[in-house]
Amino acid sequence: MSGANGQLQPIPGSPFLTGGAGTQYAGVGLGPQDSDQNIITNPDHTLLFAVNSGSDTIAVFQIGENGALTPVEGSPFPSGGNDPVSLGLSGNTLFVVNKSGDFGRTSSILPNYTNFQVAADGKLTPTSDSTNESSQRFQSTVSVAGH
């Protein structure tokens, strides 16, 4: 919140914990190019999505009228991979970039793109449980070559 003089003021109830962990690795290879759009909202500004890179989950919150955040039932949700670093939202489809690049936690999981359907209440469901307009099943996770 912003006060009368423009200074930021904490929203009552903050901080709002995501229920997950951040990046474990803090070596010299970690920098601003390692993640992008790791916190986003839906166009109506009623839902907030945040990556929990260190615990491979996505936190989802309902945004109250005063800006307070309430975790969606079931949040945080598995990201579909290791080290989620970026989010994108198109309609009710959430796209997650799982980098598999947290050097503090080695993983055999390949980097991937995973997508989820976002329910009206904010719950995430892998899109493989749904079909597109041609009645073909979506593949919810697509792996890419490791680095």
Give the pTM: 0.83
Question: In the structure encoding, which two tokens stand for residue 59, read together?
Answer: 């936190």
- pLDDT at site 111: 87
The span from the CA of 38 to the CA of 138, in Å, is 24
What stretches in the chain show pLDDT beneath 50? none
- In angstroms, the Cα distances linking 80 to 63, 69, 113, 123, 127 are 24, 24, 8, 15, 11
Closest CA to 79 of 105, 49, 36: 49
In a domain, 17, yes or no: no
Find the domain containing 46 and state its range: 35-143
In a domain, 129, yes or no: yes
In a domain, 10, yes or no: no
- Structural domains in the chain (count): 1
Which amino acid, residue 23?
T
In a domain, 27, yes or no: no
In a domain, 86, yes or no: yes
3 CB-near residues (< 8 Å, 6+ apart): 9
In a domain, 74, yes or no: yes
In a domain, 1, yes or no: no
- The four Cα atoms 86, 32, 14, 122 give a dihedral, to 10 degrees, of -10
Backbone angles phi, psi at 87, to 5 degrees: -130, 150
- pLDDT at site 6: 83
- pLDDT at site 26: 60
- pLDDT at site 5: 81
